[in-house]
Amino acid sequence: KNEVEQSPQNLTAQEGEFITINCSYSVGISALHWLQQHPGGGIVSLFMLSSGKKKHGRLIATINIQEKHSSLHITASHPRDSAVYICAVGEYGNKLVFGAGTILRVKS
């Protein structure tokens, strides 16, 4: 069992829908990261959080440390949001452990 589990693995949504991607982890962490990998392959960091909630534009990330769970929400989804979303947990020693990713496709 991977230390970081994401769900769903694949997600197809209609433009405008509210999207939630979930991440659960089984290890003690220093921080949790959400990354976006574009269809062209580039990886961008969306959020890094260790408690509570962060918002950037239409993206919201939350974390519950006690439950070892984080969610990434996308409001008013758009086809340009189509990408792979990756959850990663930061462990001591500068180490990131990655989930398998969620492939999101937003149809117009």
Partner 1 sequence: DTAVSQTPKYLVTQMGNDKSIKCEQNLGHDTMYWYKQDSKKFLKIMFSYNNKELIINETVPNRFSPKSPDKAHLNLHINSLELGDSAVYFCASSRDASGRASDTQYFGPGTRLTVL
Q: Binding residues for partner 1, per CB under 8 A?
A: 30-31, 33, 35, 37, 41-45, 48, 50, 84, 86, 88, 90-98, 100-101
Q: Compare residues 12 and 45 and give the one whose CB is closer to partner 1.
A: 45
* CA-to-CA dists, residue 79 to 24, 42, 49, 95, 105, angstroms: 26, 17, 26, 32, 7
Take residue 57 and report the two structure tokens written for it. 């534009």
Task: Please report how close the Cβ of residue 21 comes to partner 1 at its closest, in angstroms.
Answer: 15
Task: Please report how close the Cβ of residue 78 comes to partner 1 at its closest, in angstroms.
Answer: 22
Please give the Cα distance from 59 to 70 (Å, whole number). Answer: 13
Q: Compare residues 50 and 75 and give the one whose CB is closer to partner 1.
A: 50
Task: Please report how close the Cβ of residue 70 comes to partner 1 at its closest, in angstroms.
Answer: 14
Q: Compare residues 12 and 50 and give the one whose CB is closer to partner 1.
A: 50
Tell me if residue 58 falls in helix, strand or coil.
coil
Please give the Cα distance from 53 to 81 (Å, whole number). Answer: 20
Task: Please report how close the Cβ of residue 51 comes to partner 1 at its closest, in angstroms.
Answer: 11
